[in-house]
């Protein structure tokens, strides 16, 4: 594993969280149901990406894995 791999994955994880929050903000700010539906779908895709990255980080970082296990995650 490249020394920057975990750093890059964590940056990617932060990007996913920012995207989730941004989509949610836009969902909350519109009354248009079609927009809400599309943005909700995209937001949920971002949540899946977040989960995938979290799993990968857990697999690559023994300390992170230990912390997840301690919390029952």
pLDDT in tens, 4-14: 999 999 999 99
What pLDDT score does 3 carry? 75
For residues 59, 15, 48, 50, the Cα torsion angle rounded to the nearest 10 degrees is 30
Query: Do residues 24 and 44 lie in contact, with contact meaning Cβ atoms separated by under 8 Å?
Result: no
DSSP-based three-state secondary structure for 72: coil
pLDDT in tens, 16-62: 999 999 999 999 999 999 999 999 999 999 999 999 999 999 999 99
CA atoms within 13 A on the CB side of 23: 19
What pLDDT score does 2 carry? 75
Is the pTM value of this prediction over 0.85? yes
Burial environment of residue 73 by CB neighbours within 10 A (0 to 12, 13 to 18, 19 or more): exposed
């Amino acid at each position: 594993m490249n020394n920057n791999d975990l750093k890059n994955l964590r940056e990617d994880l932060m990007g996913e969280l920012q995207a989730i929050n941004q989509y949610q903000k836009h969902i909350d700010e519109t009354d248009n149901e079609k927009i809400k539906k599309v943005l909700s779908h995209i937001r949920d895709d971002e949540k899946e990406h977040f989960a995938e990255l979290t799993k990968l980080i857990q697999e690559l970082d023994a300390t992170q894995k230990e912390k997840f296990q301690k919390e029952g995650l």
